[in-house]
Amino acid sequence: MTEAEPPPPLDPAELGAYFALIEVSSLLRHTVEQQLRDAGDLSYVQFQLLATLGDAADGSRRMTELADGVVYSRSGLTYQVGLLEKAGLVARGPSAEDDRGVTVTITAAGRDVLARVFPGHIDVLRQLFLEPLAPEDVDSLARVLTVVRDHMRAIPPRSAKPRRKGTARQSPPGGGA
Partner DNA sequence: GAGTAGTGCTTCGAATTCGAAGCACTGGGG
Partner DNA sequence: CCCCAGTGCTTCGAATTCGAAGCACTACTC
Site for a second copy, rule CB under 8 A: 3, 7-11, 13-14, 16-18, 20-31, 71, 119, 122-123, 125-133, 135, 137-142, 144-153, 155-156
16 lies in the binding site for DNA (CB under 7 A): no
Q: How far apart are CA 35 and CA 41, in angstroms?
A: 9
Q: Looking at beta carbons only, is 16 or 82 nearer to DNA?
A: 82
Shortest reach from residue 92's CB to DNA, in Å: 6
Q: Looking at beta carbons only, is 72 or 114 nearer to DNA?
A: 72
- Return the sign of the alpha-carbon dihedral for residues 4, 5, 6, 10: negative
Name residues whose C-beta falls within 8 Å of residue 52's C-beta, 6 or more positions apart in sequence.
61, 66, 69, 70
# residues contacting DNA (CB under 7 A):
36
Cα torsion 145, 44, 69, 100 to 10°: value is 170
Q: Looking at beta carbons only, is 31 or 60 nearer to a second copy?
A: 31
